[in-house]
Chain A
Amino acid sequence: MGMVRESQFHVLAVDDSLFDRKMIERLLQKSSCQVTTVDSGSKALEFLGLRESNDPNALETHQQEVEINLIITDYCMPGMTGYDLLKKVKESAAFRSIPVVIMSSENVPARISRCLEEGAEEFFLKPVKLADLTKLKPHMMKTKLKKEGEKPAEEENTILKPEESAVIEILPLHQELELEQQEPMLSSNKRKAMEEVISAGRSRPKYNDITTSV
């Protein structure tokens, strides 16, 4: 039963619009995630324990109290954009392994490529739907698996859990990223097609119906 607690993912959601925060919070809760919402990139960094100066010493003293498994952020925000936030996270040694997802109401191919190139795992067009959030799980599982991999071997059976063993299937993510970048894109039809390519790769049927020899 301790496992149930362990496997609840904690997502940090960033959006300057109250309305959008309410929506994404509910969407994430409905997808069984614990959610913290903040209204700006700088607040997100504060929450993570990252200081603007990127002073490595500061990072060490601010050990993450709360484990964040994913950051989902709006692109268009005053001050620090979602892209700026993405960069800061990826530039930080302590936090670069946290998957980042960007949301935007605007379908701008150059923007999408730029975010993906900078290391965003997904780019969601708003309005975000419940179905979109199923794509998040593989990314969050990776961080859990990593953490558990770092623990001593007595942490029995975590590696043997069916869903987690499926994560290994998803590693060719890198190849998929290259595939996306080749696609010039993006009318909304193409974008949907692109999403299908990503989903087809990232959430292969096997992931969902593991009968599994574990």
Chain B
Amino acid sequence: MELGQMQKSLQDYTKSLFVEGILDSQFLQLPQLQDESNSDFVSQVVSLFFQDSDRILNDLSLSLDQKVVDFEKVDPYVHQLKGSSSSIGAQRVKNACVVFRSFCEQKNVEACHRCLQQVKQEYYLVKNRLETLFKLEQQIVASGGMISAMDLGF
């Protein structure tokens, strides 16, 4: 595939993530924080999000599987995940966390289990899409092309 086509693919792919609501405009804040001195910021912060989230989802599964669920423990996890997904622009994950928290407040264990599944689903979706996005970018860069913030914005 030639460079121009690859760049078009990247743009289209990125756009679809916004159209589907998987990402929101907050995601566009990230490239603004990247520059020559921090040329890897976006991928670093996204990796950090993945690491953090993997850990939190694991902890959440463990907490909800306890005989007696300690919501004092569960809620902060969801709060944190909500925060980081919101900062990344992972809109659907964030929204799923909001619902999750309301069930935490109600101490509804059944509903919380369902919420956790929902959050996981949305998380794996955005993780998958972002990994694909970065792969597309890498291909472009490897072919001598450049990615600019403009490629992501529209």
Contact = CB atoms under 8 A, between A and B. Distances in A.
B39 to A, nearest CB: 12
Interface residues of A, number: 17
Contacts of A78: 76
Interface in B91-146: none
A29 B26 CA distance: 18
B87 A126 contact: yes
A127 B33 contact: no
A191 to B, nearest CB: 15
Contacts of A129: 26, 29
B84 A19 contact: yes
Given A18-B52, A105-B83, A126-B86, A23 B45 contact: yes
A137 B91 CA distance: 30
Contacts of A29: 38
Contacts, number: 49
A129 B53 CA distance: 22
Contacts of A63: none
- A interface, by DSSP: helix, strand, loop or mixed? helix
B49 interface: yes
Contacts of B35: 30
Interface string A108-137: 000000000000000000110110000000
Contact of B49 (A19, A30, A76, A130): A19
Contacts of A27: 33
B32 interface: yes
Nearest to A105: B83
Nearest to B26: A127
